Amino acid sequence: MIEYHPVVKLHRTPFLKEIFNQDSSGNIKDTSLYYQYIIRYFLRDVNAYFKVRTVGNEVIKFVPLRTRKNHNVNDSNPSDIIEDREKTFRKYFDNLVNWKILTKRETTIETGPGSTFEYQITRFGNLLALLIETDFNKNKNTYDSLYSFLESHFNHESYSIDHFCKAYLKKCKDKDIFEIFIDYLRKNVLYQNKSIENENDLFTFMILQRTPDRRLNRNLWKLWLDSFKELDRQYQDLLLYHLKLAIDRIIAESVANHFLYEETLFKTREIFSDVTVEYRCIRCNSNFCFYTSTTVLKYLEKLFCNIKVVKYCIQNESNSSEQQNKVIKCTNCTEKLMTFSTI
């Protein structure tokens, strides 16, 4: 007899929305402030362990405990109830451990029998702490500390994306745009609630980020290409494959026709440097769409150069030099202009 097992859906938890969350006015929400002050506290000594109460007593100086109304049915004048400080901070610390931003270990209580937990920041947490710090203290030393941490990280890793990031960020720093790049990273990546679970995710979104400044984007693309060309062939291939997987995953979340997309994706499954892109009629939108593959570099060039609308041409297979390439038209309205998947 064949046994059937329930399908387990894998999903990525966008926990950064808890740490980096803003209200409609652009102010950091209280819950996120708690997390950010807790994470920043560990910059005092990234190798040390701290207890919840030690951190909490310091954080509470900057982020007051929240209150809620006690809505008792027999009370016509509800009073404010202040949340339990110890319970609140332990919940935040538990979440940070689950997100691999902190680690914890059991230790004895100094004033009597029993045990408690103390916490240390992880390398990923250290990176987030330094990024948060550049928002609170916008000075050169803060950005230099972040750059030194990143440089040290990339020097000790052998992944293709680390080799690329090392060259890319150095060029940004040499061109005096590293601080601007990091500021946009916070705004465009951290506060946009991307599904980032580790350093690798963060670095992937980091090298894909563009800004609202078109001139800066063009400069970034030049630095991007120069950095890519510095890699040896093996690392170039590995990086392109890494980006192919990441871009395909992101595009898949918003396609109009999953069947057609999946078919095209399958055809290019062994082409490590190609991504599958959806094109939609600019007028009919998802009522007319088609899918095709293109190289990672050509796709990124369009994004960095802010090209959002194109005419898509099919190369004519005829040998006649008089016949030009055929422009795809919408079958509903004959429109030639198409938008394509952006990330």
**DSSP single-letter state for residue 233:** H
User: Domains in the chain: how many in total?
Assistant: 3
User: What is the chain's pLDDT, residue by residue, as a tens digit (343 residues)?
Assistant: 344 344 333 344 568 889 999 888 889 998 999 999 999 999 999 999 999 999 999 998 898 766 655 555 555 555 444 456 788 899 999 999 999 999 999 998 877 778 889 999 999 999 999 999 999 998 999 999 999 999 999 998 889 999 999 999 999 999 999 999 999 999 989 998 677 888 889 999 999 999 999 999 999 999 999 999 999 999 999 999 999 999 999 999 999 999 999 999 999 889 999 999 999 999 988 789 999 999 999 999 999 999 999 998 876 655 544 446 789 999 999 999 999 999 9
DSSP 3-state of 257: coil
Q: What is the pLDDT of residue 87?
A: 86
Q: What is the pLDDT of residue 247?
A: 95
Q: Which residues pair with 121 in a beta bridge?
A: 102
Same domain? 30 vs 113: yes
Hey, how many other C-beta atoms are within 10 angstroms of the C-beta on 142? 18
Q: Which of 78, 93, 125 lies at the terminal end of a domain, its last residue?
A: 125
Q: What is the pLDDT of residue 315?
A: 67
- Can you read off the two tokens belonging to residue 88? 């609140």
Q: Distance between CA 332 and CA 287 in Å, rounded?
A: 8
Same domain? 178 vs 100: no
- Conformation bin of residue 264: beta by default, left when phi > 0, alpha when psi is -120 to 50: alpha
Query: What DSSP assignment string belongs to 52-72?
Result: HHHHHHHHTTTSPPPEEE---
- Can you read off the two tokens belonging to residue 257? 């026709």
Residue 169 placed within a domain = yes
Interior angle at CA 48, CA 46 and CA 54, nearest 5: 105
| Residue whose token pair is 């209580």 | 109
Q: What is the pLDDT of residue 72?
A: 56
Interior angle at CA 133, CA 131 and CA 139, nearest 5: 105
CA-based torsion, 187, 121, 29, 204: positive or negative: positive
Same domain? 20 vs 118: yes
Task: From 218, 195, 219, select the one nearest 205 (Cα to Cα).
Answer: 195
Q: What is the pLDDT of residue 32?
A: 93
Q: What is the pLDDT of residue 278?
A: 95
Question: How far, in whole angstroms, is CA 119 from its chain's centroid?
Answer: 25
Q: What is the pLDDT of residue 267?
A: 92
Q: Are 129 and 40 contacting, i.e. CB atoms less than 8 angstroms apart?
A: yes
DSSP 3-state of 166: helix
Same domain? 21 vs 96: yes
Residue 240 placed within a domain = no
Q: Distance between CA 244 and CA 252 in Å, rounded?
A: 12
Residue 242 placed within a domain = no
Which H/E stretch holds residue 309? strand 309-311
Give the structural domain span for 187: 137-231
Interior angle at CA 37, CA 33 and CA 38, nearest 5: 115
Residue 47 placed within a domain = yes
Same domain? 120 vs 142: no
Question: How far, in whole angstroms, is CA 283 from its chain's centroid?
Answer: 31
Q: What is the pLDDT of residue 197?
A: 83
Question: Integer distance in angstroms from the first to the last C-alpha of the chain?
Answer: 45
Q: What is the pLDDT of residue 321?
A: 47
- Can you read off the two tokens belonging to residue 127? 């990176």
Residue 143 placed within a domain = yes
Same domain? 26 vs 69: yes
Q: Which of 91, 125, 159 lies at the terminal end of a domain, its last residue?
A: 125
Q: Which of 213, 231, 249 lies at the terminal end of a domain, its last residue?
A: 231
| Residue whose token pair is 């494959």 | 241
Same domain? 53 vs 83: yes
Hey, how many other C-beta atoms are within 10 angstroms of the C-beta on 316? 12
Backbone angles phi, psi at 109, to 5 degrees: -80, 135
Q: What is the pLDDT of residue 24?
A: 87
DSSP 3-state of 211: coil
Q: Which residues pair with 108 in a beta bridge?
A: 115
Residue 246 placed within a domain = no
Helix boundaries (H) for the chain? 16-19, 30-41, 52-59, 85-98, 123-136, 140-155, 160-174, 178-188, 199-208, 214-230, 233-252, 258-267, 296-304
Same domain? 167 vs 108: no
